[in-house]
A and B are shown apart, each in its own frame.
Chain A
Amino acid sequence: MLWNAQEIDLFLKEKAYIDTVVIPLLPVSISDGTRQEAEQAEFISLLTAMLERQFKGRMLLIPAFTYMTSRDHRAKIEELKSWCDELSAQGFAHTVCITSDTSWKGHEEELDANIIWMPSIPLHHMDDKYKRKIVDDQVNQLIKIIVQKWQSA
């Protein structure tokens, strides 16, 4: 389900079937890394949107967890942890965070969530057909990971 009024109505009605929540993690800064971060945001948004389309009936895609890149690492983790705790208290069995930001690597155990790290691909240079194929491949990988998590739960 997408985060909009129409689909949230359906979500509220069918809550019992929707046990997975997806949070994109997006860094923001105005510095040397701005360009990369914009690229990541574009890629991750596209990826999560495609993923949502595959699994519309079992996952809720919520607005991204955004943070300033310069923010203290611990504070960031604490903040995301409070999101995850709140969401699992609300009855979501699976919380999946998707990001291209390497700073999240190695912090999975501290959170009650799965952090999936995807390498960001600069899409803006590619022509449409190629772009679609690459994103499709990435989405298929994500699908496999998520189906596995569902089956192992």
Chain B
Amino acid sequence: MNGVDFLADSLPVFWAGFRITVLLALASYAGALILGAVLAVLRISPAAPARAAGLAYVEWFRNVPLLVHLFVAILCLPKLGVRIGPFTAAFLVLAMYTAAQVCEALRSGVNAVPRGQAEAGRALGLTFGQNLRHVILPQAARTVVPPLGSVFIALVKNTAVASLIGVVDLTYQFGELARDEPGQVMTLLVAVAFGYLVMTIPAGYAVARLQRRAAVAR
């Protein structure tokens, strides 16, 4: 069988894997944005215990490899009586892991807002939360778009580790097909790479576009 015919035959399998990868990436990113925002608020909070908790979380998830977190979830959760499927485990681990990166991207954006802006908000009588919402975050949003885009692109690539715990994603299907047809491994490699590129490259352009819009709104 030639490469083109082989690819045409494998397309449904790839497509199924691609959909799982997209679902996993989008779900994890949504979770990471929410959790990361909460963590960022902890890390810039005036309360020292909140800052310490945020810092501990970020250090743990940024400094231990993703794969280790995945194994921790798969091996330890059942021992605690928690029974979850591989997709749920991968989603939770990717969201929690990526939340640490989101937190740091948001925090650096907040830190890039000149100090005087927060002082002016406080001087008006805004509470910490009001100051964040009406003064700091709208200005931080301009600078966090590029790092949040990078975080998303890294996350899309990181979803591939889910294949190791049995999530039937794009990389998993690549492994299956390559085992069945070792002679077609180069063709498969190009196809699986293409599957990731159609997610990551448009994401990069979307970020550039958003960034231009944010700059105009200044």
Asked if A and B are interacting partners, one says no
Which A residues have a C-beta under 8 Å from some C-beta of B? none
